[in-house]
Structures are given as structure tokens and as C-alpha cells.
Structure 1
Amino acid sequence: MQKSFFRIVLIVALVCVAELLSAQPGPPGGDPDNPVPITGIEYLIAAGAAFGAKKIYDKRKSK
């Protein structure tokens, strides 16, 4: 009894998940009025550039 109930629940769950996964994607692109947000990599690049500039500034100042 326990195994058959588990199998039925598993089959129903798989059918429901398969239905959700088969949905069509939205249109390509996006809203042209919405600018692309700045992701984390741009912040890391800016921080690295600022850190490098400070190191160069400190090195030239000490000479």
C-alpha cells in the first residue's frame, strides 16, 4: 500500500512539473526603454581600477 501510494504521488508530481517546464519562453529582447542594469562584474572592475590607481599614486608620491 505504501509503495503504490508513493508511486502515484511521484507520477502526479512528475506530470505537473513536466507541464510547467514545457511552457514557451517570452519574446526575445526586452523593453527597449529599460536600460541594462549594472551587474557585479562592473563593480569589481571599477574597484580594481580604483585600487590600482591608488597604488600607482602612492608609489609615485613616495619617490
Structure 2
Amino acid sequence: MTIQNRRIFASILFVLISFVCVGQVDLPPPSPPSPPPGFPIDGGVIFGVLIAIFYGVRKILFSSGNSNK
């Protein structure tokens, strides 16, 4: 082999080896999907329970008062 042929062979070999090295890179695993948007249940439930209790007590007091008359 002449020196010119060896340089071409070495250049081709270098390019092919670099492609193999780039192909071996491990990518990080994909991130997990974000959770779906939730429905916040916090202060509204307490407010609803208080209104329900108030309504129930009021209904019981006024219904018992009307039945005695």
C-alpha cells in the first residue's frame, strides 16, 4: 500500500469509528408524563358543610314550630 492509500484508508476508518461512537450514546430516559390537573377540594367543602348544617337546623326548627300550632 502506498502512503496515499494508507491515508485514505485511515480517514475512512476514522469517520466510520466516529459514527459508531456517536451511535452508542445513551439518552436519558424520557420524563414521566405530568399528572392530570386536579380539582382542588379545600375550603369549599367546609363552607358547604356549614351551610348544609345551618340549613338543616333551620329547617328542623321551623318545621317543628309550625306543626305545634
Report the TM-score, using the length of structure 2 for normalisation. Answer: 0.37
- Rg (Cα) greater in structure: 2
TM-score scaled by structure 1? 0.40
